[in-house]
Amino acid sequence: MREKGLKILEVPVKVHYDGKAKRNPLAHGLSVLNRIMRMMVERRPLIYLGIPGLLILISGMGVGVITLNRFSQTRTLAIGHTLITVLLCIVGILILFVSLVLDSLRNRFSELQATLLRNLETLQNSKEKR
């Protein structure tokens, strides 16, 4: 810009809107956060779902080891720990499987998109040759 003799200046601006905001700021912030999270999961599901799923599964196994240790010492089953173990393991496995399915879908859509672009190029090249 300077080589063309132009300068950049800050210009003060005053804005006044006549009405109130259409959306609650909290609701708007939550919708923005929701969209960001969805985009992250769509682009890299193994990182944003697979790693947390694996950590949840490992924590469930850890609680399970503690529960089994307590059972072997006292011969009484701690129902709360057992339920937490089962819940964490099931949730972890489900999240892991969801991340794998989403990743394979993402890869498949990328392959389909590349194939469609190649076919479109081929079609355009064949029309130009006529």
Q: Tens of pLDDT along 53-100?
A: 999 999 999 999 999 999 999 999 999 999 999 999 999 999 999 999
Residue 18 lies in a domain: no
Ramachandran angles phi, psi of 20, nearest 5°: -80, 165
Cβ pair 62, 88 in contact under 8 A? no
Residue 129 lies in a domain: no
pTM of the predicted model as reported, rounded to 2 decimal places: 0.70
Cα separation of 77 and 68, whole Å? 8
Residue 93 lies in a domain: yes
Residue 5 lies in a domain: no
Residue 31 lies in a domain: no
Per-residue confidence at 19, pLDDT binned at 50, 70, 90?
confident
Residue 92 lies in a domain: yes
Cα separation of 90 and 92, whole Å? 5
Q: For the chain, how are helix, strand and coil distributed in percent, rounded to 5?
A: 80, 0, 20
Query: Which structural domain range is residue 95 located in?
Result: 46-123
pLDDT, position 8: 86
pLDDT, mean over the chain: 92
State how many domains the chain has.
1
Residue 60 lies in a domain: yes
Residue 51 lies in a domain: yes
Of 63, 67, 61, the residue nearest 93 (C-alpha): 61
